[in-house]
């Protein structure tokens, strides 16, 4: 296969990929990936293969699909992280509001005024989130677990059931 034909096919496939997807890859990187894919799939470089005109497009399409899948996975992951950050912020605010309300009503001394149960988090989820938000973002459960690991809360006492575990909101 002539170098001119080889490059022409790759440029056309790269242009199709860039125009019809969210995959943003340079032509040089794309051509390198296609060349490697071709060598793996067919066992020889496309420049010396007699059937390269037909096989090159197949290798290019495979590489394009892989790049699109990677981009979609990265996009999905960033959306998930954004949703989780949103839920963490909402939970932090809801717990602080709850603890202020509890302190005004009970007048408990420190550190008791900073403590709450897991079932309080469930109650806050019901009171602070719409059903659509719970469906879309998954509620406060995962956000609470992450905030616990990040040190915003700590477990003070384990109850007979997990909903009765007692936590303390730490000042961060």
In this prediction, residue 36 carries a pLDDT of 92
In this structure, the number of other CB atoms found within 10 A of the CB of residue 167 comes to: 22
**pLDDT of amino acid 138:** 75
**Burial of residue 162, with CB atoms counted within 10 A of its CB: 0-12 exposed, 13-18 middle, 19 or more buried:** exposed
pLDDT of residue 172: 55
Full pLDDT tens readout for the chain, 172 residues: 677 888 888 888 888 888 887 777 888 898 899 999 999 998 888 888 788 888 888 898 899 889 989 888 998 899 889 888 988 999 999 999 999 988 888 887 787 788 899 899 999 988 888 888 787 777 888 889 899 999 999 999 888 888 888 999 987 5
Between strands 166-169 and 115-117, the pairing is antiparallel
Nearest to 70 by CA among 36, 16, 22: 22
Output the pLDDT for position 24.
Answer: 77
Residue 57: what pLDDT? 87
In which domain, by residue range, is 146 found? Answer: 79-169
40 with 116, same domain? no
pLDDT of residue 150: 92
Rg (CA), the chain: 27
Single residue among 26, 46, 76 that ends a domain in this structure: 76
Q: How does DSSP classify residue 43?
A: S
Task: Report the domain count for the chain.
Answer: 2
Domain termination site, one of 76, 91, 117: 76
- Please indicate, yes or no, whether residues 36 and 93 belong to a single structural domain of this protein: no
Task: State how far the Cα of 14 lies from the Cα of 61, in Å rounded to an integer.
Answer: 9
Rounded Cα distance, 40 and 138, in Å: 42
């Amino acid at each position: 296969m002539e170098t001119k034909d080889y490059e022409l096919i790759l440029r056309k496939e790269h242009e199709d990929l860039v125009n019809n997807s969210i995959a943003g890859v340079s032509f040089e990187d794309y051509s390198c990936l296609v060349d490697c894919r071709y060598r793996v799939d067919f066992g020889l470089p496309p420049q010396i293969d007699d059937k390269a005109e037909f096989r090159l497009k197949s290798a290019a399409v495979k590489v394009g699909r892989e790049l699109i899948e990677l981009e979609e996975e990265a996009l999905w992951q960033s959306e998930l992280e954004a949703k989780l950050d949103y839920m963490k912020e909402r939970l932090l605010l809801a717990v602080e509001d709850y603890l202020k309300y509890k302190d005004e009503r009970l007048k408990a001394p420190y550190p008791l005024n900073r403590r709450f149960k897991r079932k309080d988090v469930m109650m806050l989820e019901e009171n602070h989130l719409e059903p659509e938000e719970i469906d879309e973002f998954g509620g406060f459960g995962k956000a609470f677990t992450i905030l616990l690991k990040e040190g915003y809360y700590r477990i003070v006492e384990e109850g007979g059931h997990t909903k009765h575990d007692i936590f303390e909101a730490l000042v961060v």
